[in-house]
Amino acid sequence: MKTRHFILVFMLMLAGCLPEERVWWSPNGDVAVVAAGGGVHLATADGHRGRALDLGKQDALFQSVSWLRDGSGFVAQRMRTISTWEELRQLIPAEETQSVETMLPVVMPLLETAATLGKEDKTLEDLLSGLSEEQMTRFVHATRRKFGQEPERVEKLLLALPKGDELAESFKKPGTGYELSELCVFKLSGENVSEARSLLRSLLRPAMMPRVSPKHDALAFLTPDEDGRSAALEVITLDGSSRQTVARHVSAAFDWTPDGRALVFMAPLGGEGEKLQSIHRVEVITADGALTKPGKPATLATAVTLNRPAVQVLADGRVLFASQPVTLPTTGTGPELSPRLFVIAADASAVTPVPTAPGDLPANLGFFTASPDGKRVAVVESETDAVAVVEIDTGRTQIISPPHPLWQCRTMPAWKSAAELTFAALQEGAPAWMLWREGEPPRCISASWPKSSTAKWLEHKSAETKAESVTSKPDSSR
């Protein structure tokens, strides 16, 4: 029984075969949250790594981290397994509890009907095909709850269905239960977490990609939209007292303006997966720091993206994005020119390309990150392991890590400061964590780490290497 729930699509988009964030530096660049070797660690500026932080379940954790402005902690999503419905209902919003309970009366009739039809067809999937994505998710949770009430009866019906034995086994497996998503503020003490305060909890609509306002006590985040296939952009105060929906049907690309009062985001002009994306800006916080009901967003530009949408607001208020440089209408089946980086003026009066030379940038420009001062942008390729640093105003491009045959980048670079960049690169034939400064050769800062810590930061294309990575030894330092 599969769904196309937004969180699943989103997690697949960020992980696996594409570069993903693994390092998040604090505002002062003195400490970083690092996802390495299956755990989450704090690392100092020289690369010293502490023991894995005790943050609960970690296999679906930390796709994004956002530091508090004073560096005292960070905001991130975490997942917890709640074994019983009785415990779960004390944690989730009342409307989620009710929405699952309203699905309970249809569970047994649907299972009995599917069991009667037998194993020759998809049966249950066919019967559920008319449900929306959210209804499908609610049905799965309701089925789990019904299993807790009548395990023998439900299991018997499931065993009569195609792959029903897999679902039944998942319900019986020790340690499984309801997956609760939490958006938490983690406070630090030394090399560990001293406090974890939950801002939001959800069974059906997890909060993802939190980003703290650079000037105010609020953060923006994404949740699955009502259709289950796109996202809604929301904002909440850090004390949890106020929450607003900013926009619906948006892409997973947004950023705060330097004053911390407005959000810039991308949204498809057509349906799901549309290449034509519009870039908008809307104010969500008043001058005194209170949330305000968003007005109609101002449209800044339109972009043509062949890969994932990406946008970043620079320190001076300009907006950086990648697009195909096309003029519509066009002949043929689509744009054939190489993508380029563009900058929207702070007052939205003009859109200008970053003046890079032809061939300097990769064909896939979905993976870039601008420096804190907005003067440079680091770009990685997804099909090679090359890393480049581009001066935004001049277009001057430096390849700080050249491509190596058969290697692909699976880790986003992270700026430690305006003049220092950390990234993944080959060191003595293995992936490592590197530090680059202008005028200096890159140096490894993960030499003391177990090799398994950074083994997945790059990926080798050969099947042999992939097989070896599966059987590699775990990180014993965790």
Chain segment 149-185, per-residue pLDDT in tens: 999 999 998 888 877 888 889 888 888 899 899 999 9
Q: How high is the pLDDT of residue 162?
A: 77
**C-alpha–C-alpha distance, residues 234 and 248, integer Å:** 9
Under the phi-then-psi rule, with left for phi > 0, alpha for psi from -120 to 50, and beta for the rest, what region is 228?
Answer: left
Contacts of 3 (CB under 8 A, 6+ apart): 133, 136, 137, 140, 228
Collect the ranges in the chain with pLDDT lower than 70. Answer: 1-16, 56-63, 118-125, 129-130, 226-229, 271-273, 306, 327-337, 363, 463-478
Q: How high is the pLDDT of residue 218?
A: 97
Q: How high is the pLDDT of residue 477?
A: 41
**C-alpha–C-alpha distance, residues 263 and 297, integer Å:** 9
Q: How high is the pLDDT of residue 62?
A: 58
pTM (predicted TM-score): 0.88
* 261, 44 Cβ separation under 8 angstroms: no
pLDDT, one tens digit per residue, over 201-218 is: 999 988 999 999 999 999
